[in-house]
């Protein structure tokens, strides 16, 4: 049941993106509201699918939070990105965020639907049988999601800075550069906080499971690299006064590091590879 629900949710995320894009191109407020509604429906569907999967794992006698493999992590990441983008949209009255944010959960869910990504509910290995699983994975992925939204806002910044002064109909809906710059900064701060908590909880969990806090596993190493990229961004802004394009560039670089931390390290031998 959970797999069926989540497969439908994939199409809803895709439909939401089409609606947001149509609203941006054709300046149709109704399409925008429908895109928001579709995203909210997808969030509800994703949450329902996760809860069903959790119940199903208990029915199989291997009950655990659905956060243990690549499929489950992609589903949870999609949920986090959609929730954060909806929050930004409502708090800042920024419907244009849907154009750059809604493709991300759709792509994540679409990737999770590929045959090579197993959707089977599997028992946890002994090292993962810990309450630290929920704390570590959830905080890391909330951080990843915030960085994803910051990446989307940075893309808007580049679009606005390259064509925003031409007074085109599409660009008139994009906020001014100062607003986009501040939103990128806020999303990065939010994501940095949760990534930091994720790394700390992961270290405590690693000590409990393997008897050491840090082992330079590929995932650990790239998590640190990602943390350093965003720490550099925040330091450069607060201490050096960097703003605008420089911050947007660092935001994009940071998100590329997130992508490699999440997917790239699966190609390397290590204890954190998602299957």
pLDDT of residue 173: 80
Per the confidence metrics, is the pTM higher than 0.85?
yes
List per-block mean pLDDT (blocks of 10 residues) for the chain, which spans 275 residues: 90 96 90 96 96 90 85 95 96 92 96 89 78 89 97 94 64 88 96 96 85 83 95 94 94 96 73 53
Largest CA distance in the chain: 61
Sign of CA dihedral 252, 257, 262, 267: positive
Sign of CA dihedral 148, 86, 80, 195: positive
| Residue ranges of domains in the chain | 1-112, 125-275
């Amino acid at each position: 049941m959970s797999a069926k629900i989540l497969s439908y949710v994939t199409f809803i995320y895709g439909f939401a993106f089409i609606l947001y894009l149509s609203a941006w191109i054709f300046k149709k407020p109704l399409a925008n509201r429908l895109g928001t509604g579709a995203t909210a429906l997808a969030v509800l569907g994703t949450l329902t699918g996760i809860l069903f999967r959790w119940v199903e794992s208990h029915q199989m006698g291997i009950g655990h939070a659905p956060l243990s493999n690549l499929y489950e992590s992609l589903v949870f990441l999609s949920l986090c990105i959609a929730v954060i983008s909806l929050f930004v949209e409502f708090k800042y009255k920024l419907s244009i965020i849907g154009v750059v944010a809604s493709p991300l959960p759709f792509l994540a869910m679409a990737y999770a639907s590929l045959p090579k990504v197993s959707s089977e509910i599997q028992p946890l290995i002994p090292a993962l049988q810990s309450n630290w699983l929920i704390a570590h994975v959830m905080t890391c992925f909330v951080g990843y999601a915030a960085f994803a939204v910051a990446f989307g806002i940075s893309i808007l910044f580049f679009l606005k800075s390259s064509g925003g002064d031409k007074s085109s109909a599409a660009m008139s809906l994009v906020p001014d550069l100062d607003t986009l710059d501040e939103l990128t900064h806020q999303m990065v701060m939010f994501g940095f906080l949760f990534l930091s908590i994720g790394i700390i909880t992961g270290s405590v969990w690693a000590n409990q499971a393997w008897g050491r806090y840090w082992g330079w596993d590929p995932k650990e190493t790239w998590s640190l690299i990602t943390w350093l990229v965003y720490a550099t961004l925040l330091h450069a802004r607060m201490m050096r006064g960097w703003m605008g394009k420089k911050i947007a560039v660092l935001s994009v670089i940071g998100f590329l590091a997130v992508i490699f931390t999440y997917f790239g390290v699966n190609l390397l031998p290590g204890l954190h590879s998602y299957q």
